[in-house]
């Protein structure tokens, strides 16, 4: 595994490439991707959601596996204890997806990735906020499926195709729209092929296991350094790199140099 990215390199990379305005032509998330030595790879998604979310996770996993460059392999034996779902730590080389009533945070879902010095993803997680999905507005299959699809899309290196709720739908879960769209579209898969159009000299994904890993650790004192509070007191997100519409991205750097990025999908009107 490569050494982790330091603060200076992370900020330069993000400032110059990772957060330019998203367009239809290019909606990679800073060109971050999983390192792999084969043209296609299997990425393990540890399902730590409760049974009412299982079908949405299964559909999203199957949908993204339509890509020619990757397959998402769901591990349905993930721990569903409340503590596990609250922390939702992805293990090294895996993605973990969780749901919980995280509170009136303002966000429907968040997706986080950790990257190494080469810009490769080494772990990821997705959180789905039942506090909002239990309300009349969001408690329906369209919203649940769309947000699940979108957050997992971030975990594999995609940004949004568009962030304007009021323009023509692009019929992609990576497009902000109301009513939402539940699935990836052709351009999403084309973008993945562009991101993964080369081979790397190592693999950053794991072959199996239940993903212990850190994915959320920080050794700084509360409220300091990498534990600086994000919006609404979400300690651990770090500092905001700017908000565009209902999307906002945060960066946190651990003392050991590990860089964590968090993509937040805010609720409409928040």
For position 198, what pLDDT does the model report?
A: 93
For position 207, what pLDDT does the model report?
A: 59
Return the domain boundaries, the chain.
Answer: 7-266
| Candidate from 102-106, 200-204, 252-256 with smallest mean pLDDT | 252-256
For position 9, what pLDDT does the model report?
A: 25
Query: Which CATH number is 7-266's, of 3.40.30.10, 3.10.300.10, 3.40.390.10, 3.30.460.10?
Result: 3.40.390.10
| Average pLDDT score over the chain | 79
The tokens 């591990």 sit on which residue? 75
Distance between start and end Cα atoms, the chain: 39
For position 164, what pLDDT does the model report?
A: 56
Q: Is the pLDDT of residue 166 over 90?
A: no
For position 118, what pLDDT does the model report?
A: 79
Higher pLDDT, 240 or 125: 125
Where does the pLDDT of residue 267 fall: very low under 50, low under 70, confident under 90, or very high at 90 and above? Answer: confident
Token pair for residue 16? 């110059």
8 A C-beta contact, residue 242 and residue 18: no
The tokens 């790397």 sit on which residue? 200
8 A C-beta contact, residue 6 and residue 144: no
For position 40, what pLDDT does the model report?
A: 94
Cα–Cα distance for residue pair 120/80, rounded to 1 Å: 28
Q: Model confidence over 15-58: pLDDT tens digits?
A: 223 333 334 447 777 888 999 999 999 999 999 999 999 999 99
For position 129, what pLDDT does the model report?
A: 97
Which one, of 248, 247, 228, 246, lies nearest residue 238 by Cα?
A: 228
For position 165, what pLDDT does the model report?
A: 56
Count the Cβ atoms, other than its own, within 10 Å of residue 79. 13
CB under 8 Å, gap of 24 or more: what pairs does 222-229 form?
225/253, 225/255, 226/252, 226/253, 226/254, 226/255, 226/260, 227/252, 228/252
């Amino acid at each position: 595994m490569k050494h982790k990215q330091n603060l200076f390199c992370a900020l330069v990379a993000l400032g110059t490439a990772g957060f330019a305005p998203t367009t239809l032509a290019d909606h990679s998330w800073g060109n971050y991707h999983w390192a792999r030595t084969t043209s296609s790879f299997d990425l393990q998604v540890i399902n730590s959601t409760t049974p009412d979310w299982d079908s949405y996770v299964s559909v999203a996993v199957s949908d993204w596996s339509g890509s020619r460059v990757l397959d998402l392999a769901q591990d349905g034996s993930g721990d569903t204890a409340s503590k596990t779902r609250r922390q939702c730590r992805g293990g090294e080389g895996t993605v973990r997806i969780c749901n919980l009533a995280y509170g009136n945070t303002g966000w429907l879902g968040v997706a986080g990735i950790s990257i190494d010095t080469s810009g490769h993803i080494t772990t990821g997680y997705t959180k789905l906020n039942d506090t909002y999905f239990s309300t009349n507005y969001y408690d329906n299959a369209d919203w649940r499926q769309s947000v699940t699809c979108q957050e997992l899309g971030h975990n594999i290196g995609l940004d949004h195709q568009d962030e304007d709720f009021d323009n023509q739908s692009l019929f992609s879960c990576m497009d902000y729209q109301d009513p939402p769209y539940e699935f990836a579209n052709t351009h999403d898969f084309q973008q993945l092929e562009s991101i993964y159009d080369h081979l790397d000299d190592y693999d950053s994904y794991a072959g199996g296991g239940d993903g212990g890993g850190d994915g959320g650790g920080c050794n700084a004192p509360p409220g300091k350094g990498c534990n600086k509070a994000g919006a609404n007191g979400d300690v651990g997100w770090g500092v905001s790199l700017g908000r565009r519409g209902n999307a906002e991205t945060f960066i946190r750097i651990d003392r050991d140099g590990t860089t964590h990025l968090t993509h937040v999908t805010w609720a409409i009107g928040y």
